[in-house]
Amino acid sequence: MISSREPSEAGPPERDKHSRRTVGSAWGLVNLTLTLALMLSLLLLGSKASDFRLPGNQQGYTPTQPIAFSHRLHGGELKIPCLYCHHHTSKSRYAGIPASQLCMNCHRFVQATLGAVRAEEKTAAEENRVPNRIVSTELQKIYDTLGLDSDLRPTREMKPIEWTRVHNLPDFVYFDHSSHYIVGIECTRCHGPVETMERVSQFETLSMSWCVNCHREYNGRVVGDRTLRPSIDCSVCHF
């Protein structure tokens, strides 16, 4: 049913065989068009209607997450550095989402908000029993994914938390965090004021013109002893 919409398997146009200068980019464009057509058919075929999004219309996307993890609390109030949890940002393509084990650096000790701990201690004293260690239903979910019992001893199998991705560039776009990190671009320049967000929201459009405009804007800026030349060649962002 989709085959009628697919372009025919045409090679590059005849004239390009004689013009070395344009061959590469024209081929790139044809490849890109094919890739796009393929992507679109795969999307239409493989995804539920509710998952289907056209490129570029996800600004403001704020999915609910399996655990009510707050960047406002952790990044803003507690001032935990972004890189403490997203340490891949400085050296790899992906920023990475931390594993539950990292949360345990603190949540082994912090099992509820201070208010909730006080309240539980009070009730337990009144009821003449030992206070429960875990009183937060949200943190309970972390302990569950790590297979820990009520004394935080491992008893069951671990399973990763399935966070819902907020940012989703199409597969035909190449983006790399580290090349932006090393020239000193702040997270907030592209992600907005994450440290104020209860739930992460896509702040920018992530459209092609957003990328390209910024590459133009930074052209010629000096960082340290280097003059920046962010490329606007198609092949830099599209293979």
User: Which 29-68 residues touch ligand HEC, going by CB under 6 A?
Assistant: 29, 32, 36, 55-56, 65, 67-68
In the complex, minimum distance from the CB of residue 211 to ligand HEC, in angstroms, rounded to a whole number: 3
Nearer to ligand HEC, 41 or 65 (CB): 65
For position 94 contacting ligand HEC by CB under 6 A, the verdict is yes
For position 96 contacting ligand HEC by CB under 6 A, the verdict is yes
For position 2 contacting ligand HEC by CB under 6 A, the verdict is no
In the complex, minimum distance from the CB of residue 157 to ligand HEC, in angstroms, rounded to a whole number: 19
Q: Per CB under 6 A, which region of 15-23, 90-98, 125-133, 143-151 contacts ligand HEC?
A: 90-98
Please give the structure tokens belonging to residue 228: 């920046």
User: Which 180-219 residues touch ligand HEC, going by CB under 6 A?
Assistant: 180-181, 183, 185, 187, 189-191, 194-195, 200, 206-208, 210-212, 214-215, 218
